[in-house]
Amino acid sequence: MIFMINMLKLYGYKKCGTCRKAEQFLQRAEVAYEFIDITENPPTAEVLAAIVEHAHVPLNKLFNTSGVQYRELEIKKKLPALSSREILALLASNGRLIKRPLITDGKRATVGFNEEQFAAIWG
């Protein structure tokens, strides 16, 4: 039987300061990762659902609430009426709505950047 080791995937945006901090942390810790531009290739609804589960965060914590599109699309008003499936589909369709960086190895995940949390999980 062949075991596949999942490469760490960092869904981020190169112009995002928080994403750069996360990348610098991983580089200093010598952790190999694949960078995926979240605005060009947002994670699928299935990947997002797994990240929520592995990061132990509520689904609404995946939203980039400080983002322009979050405000323009009035997501805060719409959220209460949306099902989990609809929220995941919305996020998967627009990477600018997703809080970044998202990092996962398929078993663990983090949302956003917190140095202590990173040290515990990825360090």
Q: With a threshold of 0.85, does the pTM exceed it?
A: yes
Q: Is the pLDDT of residue 113 over 60?
A: yes
In the chain, where are the structural domains located?
8-121
pLDDT at 123: 87
Query: What is the Cα gyration radius of the chain?
Result: 14
Do residues 12 and 35 lie in contact, with contact meaning Cβ atoms separated by under 8 Å?
A: yes
**Residue partners of 77: CB distance under 8 A and separation at least 6:** none
Which range (6-10, 79-83, 85-89) has the least confidence?
Answer: 6-10
pLDDT digits (tens, 9 = 90+) for 90-111: 999 999 999 999 999 999 999 9
d(CA 57, CA 23): 22
pLDDT digits (tens, 9 = 90+) for 10-61: 999 999 999 999 999 999 999 999 999 999 999 999 999 999 999 999 999 9
d(CA 106, CA 120): 17
Q: From residue 60, give the alpha-carbon distance in Å to each of 20, 40, 52, 71, 88.
A: 23, 21, 9, 14, 10
Topology of domain 8-121, CATH: Glutaredoxin (3.40.30)
